[in-house]
Structure 1
């Protein structure tokens, strides 16, 4: 006995765009790139932790994974302050909600 196929229904009476539905279910180049970056970062992180725990090296007297730490700060960046984008978006969202629904 075959399983029933899911039915696509539209609220406005128009046929759904089946091509769009198929595109949403297949990985995109963006998804592939994100997966590659995440996998690569996780691999480097594991190697770094492993080399720190075991004192491992690559046979040349150097650790397998090097972590760069700048010795002399760049003078052009002396007044640099990191920007918290997540906090900024949060404040903007709260302001938009408050402006859309002003309290009496």
Structure 2
């Protein structure tokens, strides 16, 4: 079963949405742990890696905003009556 989720005619399976949700929730936990370690709340946890010499090919890289993506999916479902 596929769901219509955007005006660009892309379809996502329930498994795809579940995978995206899993990654999103896991990343939220990592961000919370990173914020905690920055403020001194935790001595252990994830360590943020920073390139010493950034790759020039990634100069214009823009990360995806998952919250915005989820909002778009939600609105598309409402518009499509799903």
Instruction: Provide the TM-score with structure 2 as the length reference.
Output: 0.49
Q: Which has the larger radius of gyration?
A: 1
Instruction: Provide the TM-score with structure 1 as the length reference.
Output: 0.40
Q: Per chain length, whose mean CA-contact separation is higher, i.e. which structure has more relative contact order (CA < 8 Å, sep 6+)?
A: 2
Task: Write 1 or 2 for the structure with the bigger share of strand.
Answer: 2
